[in-house]
Every structure is written in structure tokens, then in C-alpha cells.
Amino acid sequence: MTPPEFFHFCPRCGVRQASVPAGNPFLCGSCQLRYFFNPAVAAAVFIRRKSDGRILLIRRAKEPGLGKLAPPGGFIDFGETAEHAVAREVREEVGLELEGIAFLCSQPNAYLYAGLTYRVLDLFFVATASSENVVVDVHEVSGLDWYQPAQFQLDDLAFPSMKAAWQYWRSIPRDPA
């Protein structure tokens, strides 16, 4: 199920709706509230190691994608830029500081969490680590390594959005990685 399917009542006037909203926006039949459902926004970053160009991938310690590989990242907070969010998430998950954060591409995603499927827009970045001393948050990360591109399979990545972003990055001819 997706969150809009829970809108049986208008969140402003409380009137029960004749039917579950089928489209976007939710439109209350009583008070005419229009409520637009928007994707949650997340950001992730492919981090390159300066010394050898390898890429940092974490192994996810929780669902969705438990045990799969992923670039570090997470959901963007209210009032936060995507660049700040990736720097914060990387600091929290693996204790690294980033340099040269640059936008790569965006990909839609569906994130199944606690029985609900959230529609997400993933923003992907590339960056360089300014150090190599990782400090892992064991609640988020069960392992990590610096990978050469040939060292993992596309299907090892947790989400289709990550696979698409990785393929896109690899397809850029001038990229040195």
C-alpha cells in the first residue's frame, strides 16, 4: 500500500470520503481541500578514494535491501539541501568528510518500509573522500569496502534506482573512474 490509500478522512475537516483517492491531488468532497502527494526525496553519493579511484559501497544493515550494497545516503530533511544531506549522511554512516560533491542524476524509487511503499526521488551525487578513516554506524551499515567497478555485480546494489545511476555514471565517457 502507498500512503495516499490511507486518506479515508480529510486531514483538515475530518469528513469521511466517499472513496479512497485514486489520483493526485486528494480532493475533499466536503471542504474542497486539495492535498498533493509528492515523492520523498533522498540523496546518495558514489565516493571515490583519491589514492586509487575505488568506490565506497556499504552493505545495508536493515530493510529494505538488507545485506545488499549501496552508496551511502538517506532522506533529505526539511530545509536541507541535497548536498548537505549527503555530507551529513556520509558523516553519520561511515565517518568520512567529502570534497567536490557534484550532482550526477536523479532516479525514481519505491521504498518499502514497515509495510508501506513510499514513492521516492533519489538524487545521486559523486564526490571524493577527504580521508580514508571510516567509522561505521553499525545500525545502518553491516560492512563496507572500497570497490573497483569490476568487483561487484549490478544486481548486488540494493535498488533499481542505484543500478540505473551507476550505469549512467559508468556510461559517461570522460569519467576517469
Any contact of residue 81 with Zn ion (CB under 5 A)? Answer: no
> For Zn ion, which is the closer residue by CB, 12 or 62?
12
> For Zn ion, which is the closer residue by CB, 35 or 169?
35
Interacting span for Zn ion (CB under 5 A) from 5-13, 68-76, 91-99, 114-122: 5-13
DSSP letter at 151 equals: G
Binding mask 17-46 for Zn ion (x = CB under 5 A): -----------x-xx-x-------------
> For Zn ion, which is the closer residue by CB, 33 or 134?
33
Non-local (6+) Cβ contacts of 45 within 8 A are 71, 72, 73, 86, 90, 98, 101, 124, 125, 126, 127
**Dihedral angle of Cα 171, 118, 13, 19, to the nearest 10 degrees:** 100
Any contact of residue 96 with Zn ion (CB under 5 A)? Answer: no
Q: Considering only CA atoms, which of 72, 93, 82, 65 is closest in space to residue 158?
A: 65
Residues near Zn ion (CB under 5 A): 10, 12-13, 28, 30-31, 33
